[in-house]
Structure 1
Amino acid sequence: MTVFILVSGMFTGPHVWADATARLTAAGAEVHAVSLAGLGGTRPPAGTGIDLETHIADVLAVIDSVGQVAGREIVLVGHDYGIHPVVGAADRRAGSVARIVYLDSGLPRDGVPALAAVADQGLREEALRAAGERAQGADAELPPPARDAWQLWGSTADVSDAALDRLTALASPQPLDTLLQPLRLTGAAATVPMAGILCSGNGGSIAMVQARVDLGEPTLQALTDPRVTFFELPTGHWPMLSSPTALAVTLLQAAAGEGRRLTPVAATRVQPFLLEVPELPRERTGNIDLYLPPAAHGPRPALVFVHGGPVPREARPTPRDWPVLKGYARFAAGHGVAGVTLDHRLHAVTDYEQAAADLADAVERVRADPRVDADRVALWFFSGSGPLTADWMGRTPPWLRCLAASYPIMAPLPNWGRLGSRFHPADAVAHAGSLPLVLVRAGLEAASVAATVEEFLSAAHEYGADIEVVDVPNGHHNFETVDRTGESGEAVRRAMRTVLRHLTA
């Protein structure tokens, strides 16, 4: 028999698991939904300190009550914040736990508090303010969200009005020290097989995790272990409320060791550019690489390629050494314009202001090069750099002849939290005027990303923007490396022809 121990996230308690529990029990599993101190209606006496260690002890108590019985396998399931006490408990009872399931959660690390996993910078700052204002000897708490603010903590897609009402009515303040106390791990939890369940309506996908693994992010390389499997659910951050039957089925599959496995980075080396391009040399200055046309005479227009992200700070090679970006730059140089790549510091979703400053500085240095025509520059954005396009549409300089974007993320994904209003392309496109826009759209894009593209296109059409869409019907995100087909190659050629036409006119 499988014994599921379910641990809910911030502000919530065992009640959120009711429907999923019923389905798991009907399938023959034993289920225990953990009541964490201070949450789900449990209110300890005033002055009782509640921190992460308290919640780890709550999970340990349930593990120990189940005991080790032949034929029974304990599966710990942590949703959202709940993964922190789950991993902490598994670290101390690794021999008793058969599997850990990460349900639309982050990856807890030794010495890092749970607050670090909250994507929204404003919410983190709110928690830190509450900590700073706590009265002497008082238990500081973070108040639960209002009904219309739950989406700041994760997408409420597919959650019924009644379920959202109940979630709000039963929510509890989160003891602040549960978020601020660093998690302490010995490494024993890393020996326990794991499964990740990603909710695509909240912005997660297996493809995105694989892409981060391919970038060489050190903390994710363990996810390629064959004992690690992944699943996707097409719903928001609260699958126990929105899709309890699908969640129960997935949990049973995860417990059985089923699911998709990631490919080790050594086996997914970045492919060379999908088109034949001239092997032109590059000039490296600071964070910029410049590819000049062969036998160029006089200043040439410049096409700057802006990588996506976030890209881990430790990732090697850095983006300007990725074959796909080098290929684009050489492709442009082969057609008579200066191709430019750069590294900018978009290492987390909180880094857009820094990345924007890096890009603006790089563009000005490119324009200052005497071999570049400072009055004819185009920008081409990829993937997660999409929000950076807003700067250039909102204040279009006269020398910007075209702005292109390939499979862009054009609004913050639900699991990113809030971005400043500066980085909302759907708002900025109202001011694009006659600036030519080119958008390369992947037909098999992740639903959460595709929604941001459609929002942007709707706004672009409403405001009469000069936009051309290049569709890749059978293309995925990063189609140049994922889908090396004739269709992909033709899409790159068509987009490049269009950009060059505007740039050289």
Structure 2
Amino acid sequence: MTAFVLVPGSFTGGWVWEETAARLRKAGDEAHPVTLTGMDGRREGAGTGLETHVEDLVRLIDGLTETEVVLVGHGYGLHPVLGAADRRPGRVARIVALDTPLPQDGEPAARSVPDPGGRAGADGRVSPPTRETRSRWGGLEGVPAEALARLERLAVPQPAATLTEPLRPAGAASALPVTGVLCTAGGSDISTIEMLVESGPPRFRALADDRFRFLELATGHWPMLSAPAELAETLRRAAAGGGHRVTAPADERPTHLRPFLEGVRDVPEVPRERHGRVDLHLPDAAGPRPAIVFVHGGPVDPDQRPTPRDTPILLGYGRLAAGAGAVGATLDHRLHGLADHALAAEDLAGAVALVRADPRVDGERIALWFFSGGALLAADWLAAPPPWLRCVAATYPMLAPLPGWEAVEPRFRPADAVGTADGPPVVLTRAGREHPVIAATVEAFLTAAGRRGARVETVDVPHGRHGFELLDPTEESAEAVERAVAAVLSRLGE
């Protein structure tokens, strides 16, 4: 017999699991829906933090007699689940992450939810979301109207410290089996995990370890409300060790560390200066020169080394710009989590101001060039373009938050911003073998641009993948890079 410990996400209690728990019990298992301290609507629990909730689960585990205990965490609930598993690894058979990414050690839940600490009241609690903002805490696909009304009626404030207190496990649970249940109506699926693993950062490459399995569930982020019977069966499959294993690519080098256009183009080094977060790649040319500011993608692990501006992709583009007579500026910005776009936007604004103030730069001729997830930052510049911004470029961009990225603030949607102001032309480089969910954001952007009369030039790489300069170093890729650089320079008057 398996004992399922069902831990809910923010603002909710064990009641959300009632139907799923009933299905599990009917199948012969034990189910223990959990209402964590301070989440029952009463005022006690002042000073409650993540550690309090970890202790709640440890006490529950210690009282169970079943030999096989499966901990299921949904949203915020995955944080105390991981903390409790670290305290009682010998009692836990498996961890199930329900439509929720695994947090990094030392990472608070606030890293993946929208602005929790900023909305805490004087009593140290975060008010539950309103009907208008509820979807930012997880898509509501498939939730019946009656269940949604109950979700809104029974939601309670969340102690702010539970969201801001970092998760610091000792590592005792690092070998436990983990099953990720991906709710596909929200856009997450196994192909998304495969893309992340292939990208190479250690936090994603670790998902190819044999202890990880993945299952899909055809509903939204609240399957206990939208598909309780299907969820119960999926949890039983997870407990039995079922699911898909993702394998690492044959080339063990992380994508971001592979050489730029390896074997196709030699990009010569140019003088480089470091100014805080910003590097300037300087051309061999007199007089104030136009500048291209290159904005890396993300989220990026804050401990990643080398940092983005020292990786082959930004070094390559910075040198190409300088070789063509422009100042190539690269920066490290703080897009470390889905709730960090505002921080990254501040860093980008500061970098642009630094570049424009440099006497070697013509401050009236600036281009911004965005990559991948960093392209969401383009929305600000498209919505309110300054006169000196002559061009916006984007390469394999995400031009709207991806499904499941509810923590991204609404302002960071280039597909909504394009053409809303008389802005600069856009040079957009598309990878023909792009991941479908990213390609969909590009198509939405182009549709909006066409409807609003925005000027967009596309550069296509028919056989290229996301990161084609590193993954697909072909003549086609090299020519696409050169066409994009030439298009941007022409808009800078070069």
* Contact 2:37-2:52 within 8 A present in 1 as well: no
User: What is the distance in 2 between the residues matched to 1:333 and 1:483?
Assistant: 24
* Contact 2:205-2:248 within 8 A present in 1 as well: no
User: What is the distance in 1 between the residues matched to 2:95 and 2:459?
Assistant: 43
User: What is the distance in 2 between the residues matched to 1:445 and 1:161?
Assistant: 36
User: What is the distance in 2 between the residues matched to 1:431 and 1:4?
Assistant: 50
Alignment of 1:366-381 (within 5 A): 366-367=355-356, 372-381=361-370
- Identify unmatched segments of 5+ residues in structure 2: none
User: What is the distance in 2 between the residues matched to 1:404 and 1:80?
Assistant: 35
Shift of 1:326: 2.0
- Opposite residue 159 of structure 1, the aligned amino acid is V
Match of 1:75 in 2: 70
Deviations 1:263-312 (A, max 9, x none): 4996425221234133233322324444455x646655433321122333
* Contact 2:138-2:221 within 8 A present in 1 as well: yes
* Contact 1:444-1:474 within 8 A present in 2 as well: yes
User: What is the distance in 2 between the residues matched to 1:235 and 1:313?
Assistant: 32
Match of 1:259 in 2: 244
Alignment of 1:166-205 (within 5 A): 166-174=150-158, 178-179=162-163, 185-199=169-183, 205=192
Q: Give the TM-score normalised by the residue count of structure 1.
A: 0.78
CA spacing shift, 1:428–1:246, aligned 2, 3 Å: same
| Alignment partner of 2:123 out of 131, 154, 160 | 131
* Contact 2:279-2:331 within 8 A present in 1 as well: yes
Structure 2 residue 14 is matched with structure 1 residue 11? no
Deviations 1:122-170 (A, max 9, x none): x33223x2434xxxxxxxx555444443212122234343442343344
Alignment of 1:488-499 (within 5 A): 488-499=477-488
Alignment of 1:86-235 (within 5 A): 86-107=81-102, 114=109, 116-117=110-111, 119-121=113-115, 123-127=116-120, 129-132=121-124, 142-174=126-158, 178-179=162-163, 185-199=169-183, 205-206=192-193, 209-210=196-197, 214=201, 223=207, 225-231=209-215, 235=219
Shift of 1:207: 5.1
Match of 2:29 in 1: 30
User: What is the distance in 2 between the residues matched to 1:201 and 1:57?
Assistant: 34
Structure 2 residue 407 is matched with structure 1 residue 417? yes
Match of 2:61 in 1: 63
Q: 3-state DSSP class of the match of 2:405?
A: helix
User: What is the distance in 1 between the residues matched to 2:182 and 2:474?
Assistant: 28
Deviations 1:152-209 (A, max 9, x none): 2122234343442343344445456655666674432334222333446657642575
Aligned residues: 483
Match of 2:374 in 1: 385
User: What is the distance in 1 between the residues matched to 2:211 and 2:479?
Assistant: 39
Match of 1:135 in 2: none
Q: 3-state DSSP class of the match of 2:143?
A: coil
User: What is the distance in 1 between the residues matched to 2:351 and 2:165?
Assistant: 40
- Opposite residue 280 of structure 1, the aligned amino acid is E
Q: 3-state DSSP class of the match of 2:306?
A: coil
Q: 3-state DSSP class of the match of 2:392?
A: strand
Match of 2:492 in 1: 503
- Opposite residue 400 of structure 1, the aligned amino acid is L
- Opposite residue 189 of structure 1, the aligned amino acid is A
CA spacing shift, 1:53–1:306, aligned 2, 3 Å: closer
Deviations 1:416-440 (A, max 9, x none): 525374x443454345426211223
* Contact 1:283-1:290 within 8 A present in 2 as well: yes
* Contact 1:101-1:194 within 8 A present in 2 as well: yes
* Contact 1:203-1:449 within 8 A present in 2 as well: no
| Residue identity (%) | 50
Deviations 1:35-59 (A, max 9, x none): 315688x677x75769456644554
Q: 3-state DSSP class of the match of 2:492?
A: helix
User: What is the distance in 2 between the residues matched to 1:328 and 1:245?
Assistant: 51
- Identify unmatched segments of 5+ residues in structure 1: 133-140
Match of 1:138 in 2: none
- Opposite residue 244 of structure 2, the aligned amino acid is G
* Contact 1:119-1:415 within 8 A present in 2 as well: no
- Opposite residue 259 of structure 1, the aligned amino acid is H
Q: 3-state DSSP class of the match of 2:173?
A: helix
More displaced stretch, 448-457 vs 306-315: 448-457
CA spacing shift, 1:368–1:63, aligned 2, 3 Å: closer
User: What is the distance in 2 between the residues matched to 1:91 and 1:479?
Assistant: 40
Deviations 1:388-414 (A, max 9, x none): 323433443444332111232334455
Match of 1:470 in 2: 459
* Contact 2:370-2:378 within 8 A present in 1 as well: yes
* Contact 1:6-1:78 within 8 A present in 2 as well: yes
* Contact 2:294-2:368 within 8 A present in 1 as well: yes
Q: Which runs of 4+ in 1 moved over 6 A?
A: 109-112
Shift of 1:490: 5.0
| Cα root mean square deviation, aligned | 4.0
More displaced stretch, 176-185 vs 373-382: 176-185
* Contact 1:408-1:453 within 8 A present in 2 as well: yes
User: What is the distance in 2 between the residues matched to 1:444 and 1:57?
Assistant: 47
Structure 2 residue 259 is matched with structure 1 residue 272? yes
CA spacing shift, 1:490–1:202, aligned 2, 3 Å: farther
Deviations 1:371-391 (A, max 9, x none): 555544322111222233234
